[in-house]
């Protein structure tokens, strides 16, 4: 990484500026008085929001967007080496650094707090950021989503506190040296980069080693992989539901639009906490945030009030509105565990309703490597539409293209038929694990309610054909399926309306 003195930098260009992380750095630099420009392959809500604050945006990437007056180019790690803007910048001798490198340069001089883990990073970071804000600590916060209070993925504070979502892809978080780490969970992901769970876990172990003497590791004590990592710091706060943890959640109660639970910290009863976002995973997220609050001596009443006011973030169980009288929920879930948890959260929050799950798998390699886990992810749904896999530019290998959402739809059907047949029928397909009797949703989910769609246009047509008045429409995926959810509730114009 090249050394960069931001005090001597006046003009910065961002390649892939529509990315949720890079856009936050662009906002931060613009707010700091830098002249900023950026490019992306297509228009988006994020790109349009950057234009509104005065950042010059180019749609499409060309060497013409780069000139010798630019002092620094910051690019997303998804950008390939042959990118015309990146090549031109290097030809002109302009300094170039990646998004994680740029974030590390501004983060490491602060009292850094980093949230990491396979699941729940964005929600936990948002919860924690709002808590630090409510506690009047005036933090800077970067979240991998849009926080309604700030209408942005960035809060630029003036205090020493800097809170970030720390992504593990390509070991990006090793650019960061925080004072506090919140580690939610460890489950294999990014299978195009990490070869196995041991390799994946080693990255988190190395990141935990970035904590200084006196640093604090806040981690999920119920997670087997988290519990197996080695760490040097002595100040460790474990949270979870097991009694062996320092901070223990217990007595979960679900009510209309709320979940309540009690918390004990080192044997002391902290009383009842309330969330208005669903899912046990969000309780885990909140336990990490409560642990952070206590570590920073934030009063318990302030923590309770802040968490009770948390209403979610963009694409994280986000209630978008209604379509044909049916609530539409948009969620970023793209890992089997996240998909399963999101469907179960909908079941818990909307008892008696038919859960209509629409899912666009993200990346062929992930779908292939975690295929059996995906087959187990939809048990709590009543209707399933599997849209074709979202192809991730620059991260797909030719040998992985032989997998399709069609395969997944057909194998879930087979799994259902095996689970509902006499035991001898299980020999028909030994590679597909049978459903466990009594699992939630099995009595409602039938093979006739599982559909494959070749693209989003066909997905929309299937929804129109199959939706019923008492449904909850859950639209999941990390690709572009969220745009369909926005169109359905009138928050994004359709192609025909744009014309």
pTM over 0.85: no
Q: Answer with the residue of higher pLDDT: 320 or 306.
A: 306
Helix axes 20-31, 45-52, angle to 10 degrees: 0
Residue given tokens 């009063």 in the structure block? 299
Mean pLDDT of 403-415: 91
Question: Domain containing 405 — which CATH number?
Answer: 3.90.190.20
Mean pLDDT of 355-371: 92
pLDDT for the residue numbered 280: 87
With 0-12 / 13-18 / 19 or more C-beta atoms within 10 angstroms meaning exposed / middle / buried, residue 405 is buried
Question: Domain containing 203 — which CATH number?
Answer: 3.40.1190.10
Q: Answer with the residue of higher pLDDT: 428 or 229.
A: 229
The yes-or-no verdict on residue 166 having pLDDT over 60 is: yes
DSSP letter string, 261-296? EEEEETTEEEEEEEESS-SHHHHHHHHHHHHHHHHT
Least confident of 361-370, 436-445, 475-484: 436-445
Q: Evaluate whether 378 touches 357 at the Cβ level (below 8 Å).
A: yes
User: Would you say residue 1 lies in a domain?
Assistant: no
pLDDT for the residue numbered 444: 61
Q: How far apart are CA 299 and CA 252, in angstroms?
A: 22
Q: Evaluate whether 356 touches 473 at the Cβ level (below 8 Å).
A: yes
pLDDT, tens digit, for every residue of 233-286? 989 999 999 999 999 999 999 877 789 999 999 999 999 999 988 888 899 999
pLDDT for the residue numbered 499: 28
Q: How far apart are CA 74 and CA 434, in angstroms?
A: 49
Q: Evaluate whether 273 touches 307 at the Cβ level (below 8 Å).
A: yes
Number of C-alpha atoms within 13 angstroms, CB side, residue 25? Answer: 30
User: Would you say residue 10 lies in a domain?
Assistant: yes
For residue 433, is it left (φ>0), alpha (ψ between -120 and 50) or beta? beta
DSSP letter string, 339-358? HHHHHHHHHHHSTTSEEEEE
Listed residues 252, 275, 308: the one ending a domain: 308
Q: How far apart are CA 325 and CA 303, in angstroms?
A: 36
Whether 69 and 118 share a structural domain: no
Which phi and psi (to 5°) does residue 231 adopt? -145, 155
Q: Evaluate whether 342 touches 350 at the Cβ level (below 8 Å).
A: no
Instruction: List the one residue out of 476, 235, 490, 236 whose CA is nearest residue 336.
Output: 476
Q: Answer with the residue of higher pLDDT: 421 or 360.
A: 360
Mean pLDDT of 122-143: 97
User: Would you say residue 394 lies in a domain?
Assistant: yes
Question: Domain containing 51 — which CATH number?
Answer: 3.40.50.720
User: Would you say residue 103 lies in a domain?
Assistant: no
Helix axes 336-349, 280-295, angle to 10 degrees: 100
Provide the residue range defining the domain that includes 383.
318-498
Whether 342 and 281 share a structural domain: no
**Count of domains forming the chain:** 3
User: Would you say residue 340 lies in a domain?
Assistant: yes
What's the mean pLDDT when you consider all of the chain?
88
Whether 175 and 67 share a structural domain: no
């Amino acid at each position: 990484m090249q050394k960069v003195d931001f005090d001597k930098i006046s003009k910065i260009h961002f390649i892939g500026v529509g990315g949720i992380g890079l856009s936050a750095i662009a906002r931060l630099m613009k707010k700091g008085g830098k002249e900023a420009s950026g490019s992306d392959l297509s228009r988006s809500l994020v790109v349009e929001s950057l234009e509104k604050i005065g950042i010059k945006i180019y749609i499409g990437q060309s060497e013409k967007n780069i000139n010798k007056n630019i002092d620094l180019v910051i690019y997303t790690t998804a950008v390939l080496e042959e990118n015309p803007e990146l090549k031109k910048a290097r030809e002109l001798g302009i300094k170039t650094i990646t998004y994680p490198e740029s974030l590390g340069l501004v983060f490491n001089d602060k009292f850094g707090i980093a949230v990491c883990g396979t699941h729940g990073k964005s929600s936990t970071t948002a919860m924690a950021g709002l808590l630090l804000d409510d506690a009047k600590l005036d933090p800077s916060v970067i979240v991998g989503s849009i926080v309604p209070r700030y209408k942005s993925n960035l809060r630029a504070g003036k205090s020493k506190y800097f809170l970030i979502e720390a992504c593990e892809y390509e070991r990006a978080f090793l650019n960061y040296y925080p004072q506090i780490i919140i580690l939610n969970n460890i489950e294999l992901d990014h299978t195009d980069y990490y070869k196995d769970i041991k390799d994946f876990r080693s990255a988190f172990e190395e990141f935990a080693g970035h904590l200084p003497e006196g640093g604090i590791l806040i981690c999920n004590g119920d997670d087997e992989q988290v519990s197996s990592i080695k760490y040097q710091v002595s100040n460790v706060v474990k949270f979870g539901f097991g009694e062996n943890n320092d901070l223990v959640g217990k007595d979960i109660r679900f009510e209309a639009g709320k979940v309540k639970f009690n918390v004990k910290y080192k044997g002391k009863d902290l009383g009842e906490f309330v969330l208005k976002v669903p899912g046990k995973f969000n309780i885990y997220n909140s336990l990490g945030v409560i642990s952070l609050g206590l570590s920073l001596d934030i009063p318990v009443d302030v923590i309770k009030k802040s968490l009770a006011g948390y209403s979610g973030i963009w694409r994280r169980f986000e209630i978008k509105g209604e379509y044909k009288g049916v609530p539409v929920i948009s969620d970023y879930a793209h890992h089997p565990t996240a998909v399963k948890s999101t469907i179960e959260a909908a079941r818990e929050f909307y008892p008696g309703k038919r859960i209509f799950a629409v899912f666009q798998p993200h990346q062929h390699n992930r779908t292939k490597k975690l295929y059996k886990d995906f087959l187990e992810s939809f048990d709590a749904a009543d209707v399933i539409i599997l849209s074709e896999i979202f192809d991730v530019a620059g991260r797909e290998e030719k040998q992985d293209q032989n997998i399709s959402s069609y395969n997944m739809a057909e194998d879930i059907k087979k799994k259902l038929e095996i689970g509902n047949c006499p035991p001898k029928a299980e020999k028909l397909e030994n590679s597909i694990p049978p459903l466990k009797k009594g699992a939630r949703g099995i009595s409602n989910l039938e093979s006739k309610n599982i559909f494959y769609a070749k693209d989003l246009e066909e997905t929309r047509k299937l929804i129109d054909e199959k939706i019923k008045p008492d449904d909850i429409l859950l639209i999941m995926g990390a690709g572009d399926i969220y745009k369909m959810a926005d169109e359905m509730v009138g928050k994004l114009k359709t192609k025909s309306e744009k014309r």
